[in-house]
Amino acid sequence: MRSDKTKKGIERIPHRALLHATGLSRKDLGRPFIGVATSFTDLIPGHVGMRDLERFIERGVCYGGGVPFFFGVPGICDGIAMGHLGMCYPLALREIIADTIETVCNAHSLDGIVLLTNCDKITPGMIMGAARLNIPAIVVTAGPMLSGRYDKRKLAFVHDTFEAVALAKKGKLSGNELTCLEMEACPGAGSCQGLYTANTMACLTETMGMSLPGCGTALAVSAKKRRIAQASGERIVELVNKNITPRKIITKQSLENAIVVDMALGGSSNTALHLMAIAHEAGVDFNLKTFDKIGKNTPHITSLEPVGAHYMEDLEYAGGIPAVLKRLKAKLNNTLTLSGRKIYDIAQEARIFDEDVIRPFNKAYHKEGGLAVLFGNLAPDGAIVKQAAVNAKMMKFTGLARVFNQEEAAMQAILNGKIKSGDVIVIRYEGPAGGPGMREMLAPTSAIVGMGLSDCVALITDGRFSGGTKGPCIGHVSPEASSGGPIAILKDGDIIDLDIKNRSLNVRLSKEEIAKRLKGWKTIPPKIKSGYLNRYLRLVSSADKGAVLS
């Protein structure tokens, strides 16, 4: 066993003494050492229920014949971090998490690891660490939150809180209604109820085969989730004994499957960053064009919050990811999963309980997948839009640039009524290095919806968006402004052409004018001059490369 490096031989007497000090018996030293990386914290609703799941994982590891060792992984709630300096940190945290997994597992020569996770950057960070290590690993995502309830209707976090800010500004919500929404939109433990980044990544983790069937949508409060946690604890010991490692599961074919499901679900645009980063750590050659190629041939068959009226609980009761795989079987590669079963077997045995939640191809919401990759003189290396959330009349749009060098300035302009029909809001210097940390723009995009502008205003940024974004919002513009990308030389009044169907994003400037402006462009000083974020901005790659550290 890998852990024999710390526990066998006469020269390891000091090591064994320290292990015995933790309470281990001599018999325990003959068993596989299993790390359990838990991102439990009282700060994140998606993680507050993990103490319960830790017990069941521990039980499973012991039943399987292993010895569990728990260690903590830091977590950030993107919703609480949103709209201020805090949002510079979540994407940067992804790299800390991957480094933490590598560091603890290698320092203690652990034989395998269970990754207990849930929210936006934490799940991909853990998978990146596991792929880098390439020791047996299994993921347990803690599950979605139940929908809230108010006045006989379901509530969701983004729709009923962020969009409510603008509605309140317009006088369309009373103080009492706002208070009720605050109290009821998030009724308890779990990741936010729609197909935002956390739940999208949970679904794609299951699709890749890195968590057990049913894990991606099993609700945070359910006994099913407990059973999956226990089964995952048992399974990791089997994976160690059989030496089934992440790189045997995370392959080009399984990543392609993840994109197929992502497109069919209409998932978060952040997956373009995270799947690219996971591929990088797994040594798989991958690029943005793969997303678009698959997206053009995959119909959008579910419509969950924030795009549609269904919630994660509805997807779970419709059959979860196994049912989605059943619907998409003909478009999937028959890859191996950590359960020991192949994708086709899981799909074959699944049932679709609700044909409206998981629609057949001939009744798809859209003929193409949820995401589109755009290129043009504004995004030579690509940009991402969640086209499933764009009104048909806004798929092609021409407008005048309104340029802002940070999110806060744009937010004030929106709320103060300074953005008009026909404008294209440009928020730049918010990329991986320029932000730093590529801040999510959920506040301004929700404000656009709340102000009634989503069908007449577009937004482009070198930052990124929450999975909760609706409307023609184009993010991940690469190269970013701080690297001298064309978005850096835009001026108020420039005419911008957006054509999602034809995958183009351009500014009506000649090559000569663009070259002239770029020649006169000067880099701006970094926003953060010390600490981790300063180190991060000096090392991070472009969004089209997954924003990984070089």
Residue numbers annotated as active site: 466
Give the number of other CB atoms < 10 A from CB of residue 393: 10
Which has the closest alpha carbon to 145: 183, 100, 81, 188? 188
Strand order across the 33-38 sheet: 67-72, 33-38, 112-117, 137-141
**Helix 271-282 × helix 197-208 angle, to 10°:** 40
DSSP state for residue 1 in the 8-state scheme: -
| CB contact at 8 A, 411 and 475 | no
How is residue 207 written in tokens? 């699709």
Give the number of other CB atoms < 10 A from CB of residue 510: 9
| CB contact at 8 A, 404 and 444 | no
Element (H, E) at 278: helix 271-282
Q: What single-letter amino acid sits at 340?
A: G
State the greatest distance between any 2 C-alpha atoms of the chain, in Å, as a whole number: 77
Q: What single-letter amino acid sits at 442?
A: L
Give the number of other CB atoms < 10 A from CB of residue 355: 11
Beta-bridge partners for 383:
374
How is residue 484 written in tokens? 């001298």
Is the peptide bond prior to 436 cis by the omega test (within 30 degrees of 0)? Answer: yes
- Long-range contacts of range 40-43, CB-CB < 8 Å, 24 or more positions apart? 40/72, 40/75, 40/116, 41/74, 41/75, 43/75, 43/76, 43/77, 43/80
Give the number of other CB atoms < 10 A from CB of residue 301: 23
| CB contact at 8 A, 126 and 47 | no
**Helix 320-328 × helix 252-265 angle, to 10°:** 100
